Amino acid sequence: MEKTKRERDMPTKKEQFLEQIKSVKAAHKKLMESIHLTLNGITTDYYKPVSKYECKFGKWLYDGDLQKIILGPQIYERLENTHALWHQTYAKIYNLLFPEKKGIGKFFGGKPKSQDLDKAKAYYDDLQQLTDKLMRELEVAQKRVQALSESKFN
């Protein structure tokens, strides 16, 4: 049975999966840029840390069993572990840059103390390493997905 033009133009499930990988990579890169700018005193759309399940990457990774099946247990576990460490480090940076104020102090903004900024920059180096590792792991995942037949996605 021949496909209609509309069916031919629709992305396959495999293509959608690959697009999702590209999308979560882009989201993490955008967040890293925002963190970098914030550490250098430039106001950005800095995002409050969310749990590893609530960010774009987490929503994709934990969206059913297909990711585990397609990626395989080793790739999935490496992605999951690196992503969890990334969020832990990210939360440390956020808490240093935006400490929770108590009492009357919560009504006044302000800059982080210089020693907190230095700590945040050190954590940023760790975060960059985790991001690089996450990107490498996503590249491996992408290659695996590309090598699979379309039938694995049905």
**Who's near 2: CB < 8 A, 6+ residues apart?**
none
pLDDT over 80 (residue 106): no
pLDDT over 80 (residue 108): no
In this prediction, residue 103 carries a pLDDT of 47
How far the first Cα of the chain sits from its last, in Å, is: 18
What band does 6 get if pLDDT is binned at 50, 70 and 90? low
Higher pLDDT, 66 or 77: 77
Instruction: Tell me what the pLDDT averaged over the chain comes to.
Output: 86
What band does 61 get if pLDDT is binned at 50, 70 and 90? very high
The predicted model gives 91-95 an average pLDDT of 92
The predicted model gives 88-114 an average pLDDT of 72
Considering only 35-39, 41-45, 77-81, 110-114, which range has the smallest mean pLDDT? 110-114
Q: Are 27 and 86 in contact (CB under 8 A)?
A: no
pLDDT over 70 (residue 120): yes
For the chain, which residues make up each domain, given as ranges?
52-99+110-154
- Nearest CA to 79 out of 66, 61, 92, 65 is that of 61
